[in-house]
Structure 1
Amino acid sequence: MGLVYSQPACRWASSGDLQRLYSALRDDSAQLNVQEPISGDTPLIAACRRGNLRVVEYLLDNGADAQLTNQKQRTCLHYVSKRTFSLIDYLLIAILMPILLLGYFLLKQRKSVSLMEAVLSSDVNIDAVDYVSEHGKTC
């Protein structure tokens, strides 16, 4: 199912609803970098978790702070760099779409590259260390 966000800007960034996100930011610009009370996710982190390129670009263009970290001390860059194929992706490709394997791979990788470029073009701290890396154990 995934995370359920209480902050509207995080919820709409995660779902990819640009119209509602635009309205929320127009009404209250402080929502741009609002953090979830429990996870500490910002709208930018929420969008990066879900791979919403249009939302990430919109937030960065409007001055979202790529340096902010969540409760796990992760920035948006941590979530962009973690986006890879899952086991289910590989099974679906191998069983249902053998002919389209190359096209699917290229489209998914192109989106990940675009996400990475968008985040790296911001002022994100590329040396940020998350909780797992810092302490050598999982959260």
Structure 2
Amino acid sequence: MMLFASCTTRFAHGLVVAAAPGSTDTHESWDPAIDVVHGGKDSLFISIQQAASGPASVQCMQGPYQPSGKVLAYSGKLMLPQASLEISDPNESVKLLIPVPNVENQVDVYGDGTDEPDEVVIVLTGKESW
């Protein structure tokens, strides 16, 4: 297990974007009232606690890893054109560019089980560990 990156900030729109730099995934079909996380080919939209309710944190970890006390909110594949992932929000109060070891990843997203978690853990597991 290795921590790639971590941040804590106020997310004005209650949205975290984890995506390949330059991703064109639109997530038009996502309904955040139904799904906490929506996955595209090379990106994820993740609901998180809105700024008015206080700060929230995001961690990105190398897997396999299962954080204790967290609930699996999403599991899928994430194909990155290059071995890097950008974590940001629409206002760019946070914008992290993270080098990761793999372009093909199993991605698991964990939260506290609510619709707007105050802590999100993104776990990337390379193809060789599937």
TM-score in same-fold range (> 0.5): no
Structure number with higher relative contact order (C-alpha < 8 Å, ≥ 6 residues apart): 2
User: What is the TM-score normalised by the length of structure 2?
Assistant: 0.26
User: What is the TM-score normalised by the length of structure 1?
Assistant: 0.24
Which one has the bigger strand percentage? Answer: 2
Which one has the bigger helix percentage? Answer: 1
**Rg (Cα) greater in structure:** 1
